[in-house]
């Protein structure tokens, strides 16, 4: 953020958004002189990802559309395996068996807006008669109430 070109773009956007100010009076050196020089600062993952602005392929999607994406990309493939007569017993192989799901990883893997998996995963799971067995701040495990091989 300390680059003059970046600061100029930021101020131009602010001027356009708020409707006042003159870009001619902008001097990047006034800003960069006030930015602390931290050469050994490490940026944590939470700072990079938790409050990021989203401009991915699902920008503008409402919750119903995002639930369909989660259903199609995450639950439906496991449902096919669970409903078949193939007995997959490994806990981490299927969501239906109790696979540990990390909300942030799902958001990244499916390119969803941050926080989408945490908000909508349990709603989509109910479609498959799955209930949370473990439900923490960052992870969830589901258990099924159906018998294997029975497609609802």
Domain ranges of the chain: 4-41, 63-144
Cα distance from N-terminal residue to C-terminal residue, the chain: 53
What's the gap between Cα 40 and its chain centre? 29
User: Whose structure tokens read 């100029």?
Assistant: 8
Q: Which long-range contacts (CB under 8 A, 24 or more apart) does 141-145 make?
A: 141/98, 141/99, 141/100, 141/101, 142/95, 142/96, 142/98, 142/99, 142/101, 143/98, 144/82, 144/96
pLDDT over 90 percentage in the chain: 38
Sheet containing 139-144: order of strands: 101-102, 139-144, 130-135
Question: How far is the C-alpha of 141 from the C-alpha of 96, rounded, in Å?
Answer: 9
Model-level pTM? Answer: 0.61
pLDDT tens per residue, range 39-70: 777 766 666 655 567 778 998 899 999 999 99
Is 139 in contact with 101 (CB distance < 8 Å)? yes
pLDDT tens per residue, range 96-134: 888 999 999 999 999 999 999 999 999 999 999 999 999
Q: Is 120 helix (H, G, I), strand (E, B) or coil?
A: helix
Listed in order, strand segments (DSSP E) in 15-65 are none
Listed in order, strand segments (DSSP E) in the chain are 101-102, 130-135, 139-144
């Amino acid at each position: 953020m300390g680059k003059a070109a970046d600061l100029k773009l930021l101020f131009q956007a602010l001027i356009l958004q708020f409707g006042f100010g003159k870009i001619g009076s902008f001097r990047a050196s006034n800003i960069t002189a006030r930015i602390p020089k931290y050469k050994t600062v490490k940026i944590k993952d939470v700072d990079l990802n938790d409050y990021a602005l989203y401009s991915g392929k699902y920008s503008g999607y409402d919750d119903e559309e995002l639930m369909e994406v989660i259903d199609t990309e995450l639950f439906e493939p496991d449902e096919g395996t669970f409903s078949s007569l193939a007995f997959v017993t490994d806990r981490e192989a299927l969501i239906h068996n109790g696979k540990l799901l990390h909300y942030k990883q799902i958001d990244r893997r499916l390119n969803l807006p941050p926080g989408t998996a945490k908000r909508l995963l349990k709603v989509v799971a109910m479609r498959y008669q799955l209930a949370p067995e473990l439900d923490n701040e960052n992870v969830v495990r589901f258990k099924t109430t159906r018998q294997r091989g029975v497609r609802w």
